[in-house]
Amino acid sequence: MSDSGSIWYLEEVDLFEWFCPVTKAADRYEKMPKRHFKKGEFIYFSDDTADKVFFIHQGAVKIAGYAPSGEEMIKAILHPGEIFGELAVFGEEKRQDFAQAIEDTEVCIQTREMVVSLMRDVNSFGRFLNTLVGRRVIYTQKRMESLLFKDARTRVIEYVLEQAEKNGKTLLDGAISLRNYLTHQEIANYTGTSRQTVTTVLNGLREGRVIDFDRKKIIIRQPEALRAQAS
């Protein structure tokens, strides 16, 4: 699928060049080693000091927090090529959310000071980071509108379509295959529904031969039919 669906993507900026140690990167900027996190391991916790920015080289990360009731609220699922923790350079002193690897993950890291230097010295990078924050605000507004005005079934379908847009692979028969990172309870936490609702919706789509799924992947057999049901 196209990277155009990613709110953290901007074509003219090579994030790998700046966040990971490669020969073409400018030597004046510090390149911190890649760090590996096992599935389920936390990259940072809420209330941690916000002094680093992260780039996903491999794997997947969820950004989440907790509601006053104690329930987990998943705010974003991030994939290779995406950046997170960027609010550290816009005044965030303590993390408001936590970041957790949802599969074995490798990230490249820059300190807040190095990212500030990049923004000052590399105009395209500064534009990218400002655009990223703006797109995140728009994305969050759309998520809130979906939670307020769309029914639970539509929200679950939109989750599948969003993940297909970000990390799906089109197969020869036109179907779309995507990794299934989350449990049904986690999908419920992301969509503001219940685990039972998620299970009912996905099973119904499978019975209608629109999708198929197991613990590791989801295959959208009829992409256009699924998009039609979301609309």
pTM over 0.85: no
Same domain flag for 167 and 122? no
Residue where a domain stops, chosen among 148, 180, 201: 148
Does residue 201 contact residue 141 with C-beta atoms inside 8 Å? no
Same domain flag for 141 and 178? no
Q: Which residue has the higher pLDDT, 64 or 14?
A: 64
Same domain flag for 69 and 131? yes
Q: What is the domain extent for residue 214?
A: 151-230
Same domain flag for 122 and 210? no
Taking only the tens place, the pLDDT of each residue in 168-206 is 999 999 999 999 889 999 999 999 999 999 999 999 999
82 pLDDT higher than 60: yes
Residue where a domain stops, chosen among 148, 176, 194: 148
126 pLDDT higher than 50: yes
Same domain flag for 183 and 144? no
Same domain flag for 99 and 55? yes
Same domain flag for 53 and 136? yes
Same domain flag for 155 and 143? no
CATH code where residue 204 lies: 1.10.10.10
Same domain flag for 114 and 225? no
Q: Which residue has the higher pLDDT, 31 or 80?
A: 80
Same domain flag for 101 and 37? yes
Sequence-separated (6 or more) residues with CB below 8 Å from residue 42: 98, 99, 100, 101
Residue where a domain stops, chosen among 120, 148, 176: 148
Same domain flag for 201 and 89? no
Same domain flag for 119 and 12? yes
Sheet containing 83-84: order of strands: 35-37, 105-111, 52-58, 83-84
| Domain count along the chain | 2
Does residue 70 contact residue 45 with C-beta atoms inside 8 Å? no
Distance CA 171, CA 217 (A): 13
The per-residue pLDDT of the chain, averaged, comes to 87
